[in-house]
Structure 1
């Protein structure tokens, strides 16, 4: 930089060195290797070697096999319409652009900022429609915000209470991945049951769905099949769980997702579990109560009632199971104490002594299943802890029916492992409030989503959950959507949102940043003092003789009074 003359004692030619004193042209072809030195003023030294990128033969652009996420991200919500406008203008010049290449560039070759919107598109016209929506800000869009230290997602599988008439019917009619997954479950279920779950979900098995789903031997297998199909939809977009847990019957789908049970064995568990529990119909009912476990134990002891705590869902949420008369008595006590409760629409007393008559038959029916080591962490709601898949034998599934559901313990254990993004997998979210309560008690910022609901049960609802997970910052298996690299596209740069930053004066300001010199000798007028001036004078500069300086008088004063 400041070199003017080379040291004659250094033999640069013999050392094969050339000191660069001006810009040098790089060769147009061939391999380049360049070293870049940086010697910091504070003593930090660095040397980086740069090499030409390897040459690859250009491959044909891949065609999208399914709808892919088109992601727009920005550092502020205000920048998103600008980003969409720039991209829309760019794509308008190449209307035959490849959606696969565009999705690949936006997902994997661009920095992801905190604010994101996206749509799942398969054709250029769908991309254009999405960008127009972002520009117009005319309707709600898929997406979300980044979560600090996002870990997950954790798949939480709903239990009884999430089923409803027509659940899964819309997806069965519209989504090929969902259809295929239900068919795969049916291949194992029909030989056991004699009827198909595709027909059940489609409403082709006679009677109305509400009446049939009141029978647990029908509702549980349908719930399981829908959960398996939802997992396959999520997997098809590269969204896989970091851990799984399930509430009661939800543990069966959780065990399959974790890899602890094959689909055949999981289907056998759901069939025999529901069939056996169906025999206990009419033996009791269940009530959900907004109360803590210890408080409820004290109240039950005080009242002397034979009621089981069937589930501990959160610090202020438990489920009771017992005979109808006993539940009515405890509900009267709760009402007198102004404590919220709700009798569940079930004609069964799950997770209580009313299940004891089916113990031996259930264990015998499941004696042939072969649990295996899981590939995804499985948190048991029987033990409330992390559990190896090899332990999910017939005896475990009996405990899954008989023992209380320790849902709060399982969520606590998952949260303490660092996970803070949860997705409830099922036809309707019934566990979200419990998870949020546990996160709040742990002072943890998190995200709790659902796949479907009674009011939103189409494909777009599942895509919405996917978009929120992607935006949250969770790790995504992008190789599922993009098995081969997309072709490079020179997309528009980031749309900077320019702001005018100017220091405004106040009545207290001395005006030091905005004042003007009014006189070469007097300098600046002092705003706070009338007839006062300020200047800085060089007393030496004007009195030089050769290389020496002579003073003719003392220094000038800095302030002048006139």
Structure 2
């Protein structure tokens, strides 16, 4: 059997209309989600892109859709050798691995998204095409900014105070710098207050040991099945970088042959292709693709 990993997308992979084809097969989970959230995922994904891009809506919608697609694949008898996710996607990885159930995961995502949406006083900018050594040197020499998403060798996101982020953009030559429409400096120490509040929620949540290995954002070279370790790492995630490039390199080094992106879009398979081109890539973002796989 091909050694495969299921990968789950995070914020930025959302698209208007995503998941509508899952309405019938995912009926129970959509209903449960509405009960937990107080609003309908199916209605929200039919609004405009600006509304859907709001953190408090984006994250729950992506979580629910990836969870339903996961269920479809598992019903077919399919299972991965390991799972991982990009930021929010790590919650779907934990759901897939049996660490948390659907409702528990969505409760956590709900609280996380609200805390992140309330964050203020920071900025994030995606950088494409740069000298990595020069960028890392400037970040090391500048206070209040961090390399928050290390997505690939030539695509990252920096996060910090607006002044610090602007300073990096002015001093480092890049092909493209794209300011992100977010409320705060996600995955940076500036999220400490929100992270402290969320840690209290996590402390009250039971994490089972995983049925399969989980590769976390904060420790990409140490896959684990320990529920306690995974909860501790999730506590760190909100203020720590998403080390996706390293996850991709780890997958290649460990002999994984196939990466299956389960959820909206193709962002992650595109990033895997850049860092680990030896892996075969599959996208499962629709009911048709899930049934056909």
Question: Aligned partners of 1:316 and 1:235: how far apart in 2?
Answer: 35
Alpha carbons of structure 1 residues 370 and 294: separation in structure 2 relative to 1, 3 Å: farther
Which position in structure 1 is the counterpart of 2:184?
348
1:298 equivalent to 2:137? Answer yes
Q: What is the deviation of 1:345?
A: 3.6
Which position in structure 2 is the counterpart of 1:265?
104
Equivalent of 1:430, from 259, 267, 277?
A: 267
Which position in structure 2 is the counterpart of 1:506?
none
Q: What is the deviation of 1:332?
A: 3.1
Q: What is the deviation of 1:429?
A: 1.2
**1:510-543 Cα deviation digits (max 9, x unpaired):** xxxxxxxxxxxxxxxxxxxxxxxxxxxxxxxxxx
Matched-pair contact (CA < 8 Å) for 1:355–1:401: yes
TM-score, length of structure 1 as denominator length: 0.48
Question: Aligned partners of 1:355 and 1:166: how far apart in 2?
Answer: 31
Question: Aligned partners of 1:357 and 1:449: how far apart in 2?
Answer: 38
Find the structure with the greater CA-based Rg. 1
Unaligned runs of 5+ in 2: none
Which position in structure 2 is the counterpart of 1:391?
228
**1:379-419 Cα deviation digits (max 9, x unpaired):** 11111120224125654323121111111222222222221
Which position in structure 2 is the counterpart of 1:489?
none
Q: What is the deviation of 1:227?
A: 0.4
Matched-pair contact (CA < 8 Å) for 1:258–1:374: yes
Kindly report which structure 2 residues correspond to 1:136-535, keeping only aligned pairs within 5 A, or say none.
151-169=2-20, 171-173=21-23, 176-177=24-25, 179-180=26-27, 183-184=28-29, 186-187=31-32, 189-201=33-45, 203=46, 208-281=47-120, 283-291=122-130, 294-301=133-140, 304=142, 306-334=144-172, 337-384=173-220, 385-391=222-228, 395-440=232-277, 445-452=278-285, 458-463=286-291, 466=293
Question: Aligned partners of 2:245 and 2:254: how far apart in 1?
Answer: 14
Q: What is the deviation of 1:421?
A: 0.5
Query: Partner of 1:383: helix, strand, or coil?
Result: coil
Query: Partner of 2:80: helix, strand, or coil?
Result: coil
Question: Aligned partners of 1:268 and 1:190: how far apart in 2?
Answer: 11
TM-score, length of structure 2 as denominator length: 0.88
**1:348-383 Cα deviation digits (max 9, x unpaired):** 321012211213321222322111111111111111
Question: Which of the pair has the greater relative contact order for Cα pairs under 8 Å at 6+ separation?
Answer: 2
Q: CA RMSD in A?
A: 2.5
Q: What is the deviation of 1:242?
A: 1.5
Matched-pair contact (CA < 8 Å) for 1:292–1:318: no
Compare the two structures and name the one with the higher helix fraction: 2
Out of 279-288 and 219-228, give the one that drifted further. 279-288
Question: Aligned partners of 1:248 and 1:225: how far apart in 2?
Answer: 15
Matched-pair contact (CA < 8 Å) for 1:287–1:342: yes
Matched-pair contact (CA < 8 Å) for 2:5–2:259: yes
Query: Partner of 1:290: helix, strand, or coil?
Result: strand
Question: Aligned partners of 1:229 and 1:210: how far apart in 2?
Answer: 22
Question: Aligned partners of 1:293 and 1:401: how far apart in 2?
Answer: 24
Unaligned runs of 5+ in 1: 1-149, 453-457, 467-562
Question: Aligned partners of 1:186 and 1:284: how far apart in 2?
Answer: 35
Query: Partner of 1:431: helix, strand, or coil?
Result: helix
Alpha carbons of structure 1 residues 460 and 316: separation in structure 2 relative to 1, 3 Å: same
Q: What is the deviation of 1:230?
A: 1.1
Query: Partner of 1:387: helix, strand, or coil?
Result: coil
Alpha carbons of structure 1 residues 198 and 166: separation in structure 2 relative to 1, 3 Å: closer
Question: Aligned partners of 1:200 and 1:341: how far apart in 2?
Answer: 29
Question: Aligned partners of 1:282 and 1:448: how far apart in 2?
Answer: 38
Kindly report which structure 2 residues correspond to 1:29-178, keeping only aligned pairs within 5 A, or say none.
151-169=2-20, 171-173=21-23, 176-177=24-25
Q: What is the deviation of 1:289?
A: 3.4
Q: What is the deviation of 1:343?
A: 2.7
Question: Aligned partners of 1:244 and 1:416: how far apart in 2?
Answer: 16
